[in-house]
């Protein structure tokens, strides 16, 4: 017999086999689970959303996931509504983000501090807004000719300059605003982050904000930057001004329509929504009810006197979103209220199920532990669900515990099976193997089973114990096994 390998080398061999088994198991099982999952999704192929009809009636639209044209509507009280038109014309709205509870105190990374916007001329000037990345920081525009690649100049609070921009002329603008888009209108979707802005939005029709005009909220001022005219103008001032949004008014709301609507600027201050036209003339002013002053809400203008405010709250674990509707007047006084709960589970698997699926694909305690303690918490932090690890870990644990429990029980059970087998075969290093299989779960157990030959166990002629016949002596009574009886086919040299 060859010299027995050290336990380390043997464990390595078994670990390699475990990985091989893990792959051979994980791929087909993962594939089966994904088939089951999409079948489950197809069995409930509708998602619900709240839509406000042009006449101001709120409706619940049930949209098919599989067919875009398949929509049914019902009223808040559940009566079915049908239309002659194909699709519901809905009312324009502006959605004001809530004020961040804590202003993030980290610096933005270089690439997310640059926004490229073209002025749309031929040849174009490519303007870049460069932010210093600090939470209470500032930035300025620098323009380059797209043909000659020469620098054209800079723009700050005092307008255009051919040379360097003096520090005091930079536009003060917190990086958290850059992040949430609250104070920098027309950046979303119309700029290319840190790339050359080869495409531009163009004029977008009369009465709408052209692609080369930007609005920035800077220290209580709304400034309008016109990249073509190379001008910077203060349109509005209010010490508590926090955000600016485009407010469309008129009919036709499909983004691709040659719509008959004009755009206005909706500003949020501490206690009011102010509507300006694109030249900065005040059109309307609505009081924000006290309880909504720091919250996210969606505002619909119903008519001259009445407004509809929608707020929503998701309960993720139950897959339910509660919409709260409040009809109010310009002074922010509530006229009436309604509430409706919509199911929003579709397309998202329950997180507990997701953890269990991961545990089924890789049934190993070490993997479920790593996913629970590291992968998921980092993902939650990345998704901005939370920004501290302890909280992310408790979120993760709340959903992962069934999967963790299952893999730990599996690891413990298989570890016991290893103990039994080690005893039956009279092998050493039992603790090492038990630990190995407990940590690596089912793949570990398969690695253990496959890493060596298991000799047949036959009753010992001396003591009767079932002894493996891969050695000369009985492991129970140490008596040497008798030589096998000659069969008459042996070849003697």
* Interacting residues with Zn ion (CB under 5 A): 460, 462-463, 474, 476-477
Q: For residue 241, give the nearest of 260, 215, 213, 202 by alpha carbon.
A: 215
Evaluated on CA atoms 191, 192, 195, 198, the torsion sign reads negative
Q: State the Cα–Cα distance between residues 277 and 284, nearest whole angstrom.
A: 10
- CB of residue 423 to Zn ion, shortest distance in Å: 15
What's the half-sphere exposure (Cβ side, CA atoms, 13 Å) at 156?
Answer: 19
Q: How far is 310 from 50, CA to CA, in rounded Å?
A: 10
Distance from C-alpha of 378 to C-alpha of 205, rounded to nearest angstrom = 44
**Do the Cβ atoms of 221 and 237 come closer than 8 Å?**
yes
162 and 145 Cβ atoms separated by less than 8 Å: no
In this complex, which beta carbon is closest to Zn ion, that of residue 189 or of residue 484?
484
**Element holding 222 (H helix, E strand):** strand 221-226
The nearest distance, CB 418 to Zn ion, in angstroms, is 24
Closer residue to Zn ion in complex, CB, 442/474 = 474
Nearest distance in Å: CB 493, Zn ion = 32
Choose between 456 and 488: whose C-beta lies nearer to Zn ion.
Answer: 456
Strand order of the β-sheet with 272-276 is 243-250, 261-268, 272-276, 282-287
CA-based nearest residue to 446, from 102, 51, 26, 9: 26
Taking the C-alpha atoms of residue 173 and residue 221, their distance in angstroms, rounded to an integer, is 10
Nearer Cβ to Zn ion, position 249 or 466? 466
Cβ 425 to Zn ion, closest distance in Å? 14
For residue 462, which phi and psi values (nearest 5 degrees)? -85, -55
> What does the alpha-carbon distance between residue 127 and residue 140 come to, in Å, rounded to a whole number?
10
From the CB of 426, what's the least distance to Zn ion, in Å? 11
**Residue matched to tokens 């809530």:** 98
Closest CB to Zn ion among residues 298, 462 = 462
Nearer Cβ to Zn ion, position 222 or 474?
474
At its nearest, how many Å lie between Zn ion and the CB of residue 471?
12
To Zn ion, the closest distance from the beta carbon of 472 in angstroms equals 12
Q: How far is the CB of 463 from Zn ion (least distance, A)?
A: 3
Q: Which is nearer to Zn ion, 378 or 459 (CB)?
A: 459
Cα distance between residue 220 and residue 235, in whole Å = 11
> Which of residues 42 and 423 has its CB atom nearest to Zn ion in the complex?
423
């Amino acid at each position: 017999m060859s010299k027995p390998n050290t336990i380390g080398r043997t464990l390595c061999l078994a670990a390699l086999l475990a990985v091989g088994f893990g792959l051979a198991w994980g791929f087909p099982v993962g594939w089966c689970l994904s088939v089951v999952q999409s079948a489950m999704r197809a069995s409930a192929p509708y998602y619900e959303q709240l839509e406000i009809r042009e006449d101001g009636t709120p409706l619940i639209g049930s949209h098919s996931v599989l067919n875009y044209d398949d929509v049914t509507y019902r009223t808040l009280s559940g009566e079915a509504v049908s239309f002659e038109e194909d699709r519901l014309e809905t009312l324009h709205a502006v959605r004001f983000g809530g004020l961040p509870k804590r202003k993030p105190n980290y610096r933005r990374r270089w690439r997310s501090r640059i926004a490229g916007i073209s002025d749309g001329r031929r040849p174009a000037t490519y303007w870049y807004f460069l932010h210093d990345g600090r939470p209470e920081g500032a930035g300025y525009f620098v323009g380059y000719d797209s043909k000659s690649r020469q620098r054209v100049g800079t723009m700050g609070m005092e307008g255009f300059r051919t040379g360097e921009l003096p520090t005091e002329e930079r536009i003060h603008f917190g990086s958290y605003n850059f992040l949430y888009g609250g104070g920098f209108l027309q950046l979303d979707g119309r700029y290319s982050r840190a790339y050359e802005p080869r495409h531009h939005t163009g004029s977008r029709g009369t009465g709408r904000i052209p692609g080369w005009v930007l609005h920035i909220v800077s220290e209580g001022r709304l400034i309008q930057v016109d990249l073509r005219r190379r001008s910077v103008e203060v349109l509005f001032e209010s010490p508590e001004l926090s955000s600016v949004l485009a407010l469309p008014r008129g009919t036709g709301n499909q983004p691709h329509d040659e719509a008959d609507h004009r755009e206005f600027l909706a500003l949020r201050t501490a206690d009011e929504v102010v509507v300006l036209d694109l030249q900065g003339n005040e059109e309307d002013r609505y009081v924000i009810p006290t309880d909504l002053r720091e919250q996210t809400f969606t505002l619909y203008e119903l008519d001259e006197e009445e407004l509809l405010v929608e707020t929503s709250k998701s309960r993720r674990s139950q897959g339910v979103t509660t919409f709260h509707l409040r009809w109010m007047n310009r002074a922010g006084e509530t006229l009436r209220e309604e509430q409706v709960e919509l199911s929003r589970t579709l397309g998202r698997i329950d997180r507990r199920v997701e953890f269990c699926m991961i545990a089924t694909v890789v049934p190993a305690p070490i993997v479920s532990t790593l996913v629970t303690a590291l992968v998921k918490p980092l993902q939650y932090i990345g998704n901005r669900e939370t920004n501290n690890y302890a909280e992310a870990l408790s979120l993760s644990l709340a959903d992962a515990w069934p999967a963790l429990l299952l893999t730990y029980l599996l690891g413990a059970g298989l570890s016991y099976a290893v103990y039994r087998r080690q005893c039956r075969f009279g092998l050493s290093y039992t603790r090492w193997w038990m630990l190995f299989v407990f940590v690596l779960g089912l793949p570990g157990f398969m690695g253990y089973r496959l890493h060596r030959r298991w000799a047949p166990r036959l009753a010992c002629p001396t003591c009767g114990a079932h002894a493996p016949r891969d050695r000369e002596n009985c492991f129970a009574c140490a008596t040497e096994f008798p030589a096998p009886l000659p069969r008459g086919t042996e070849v003697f040299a």
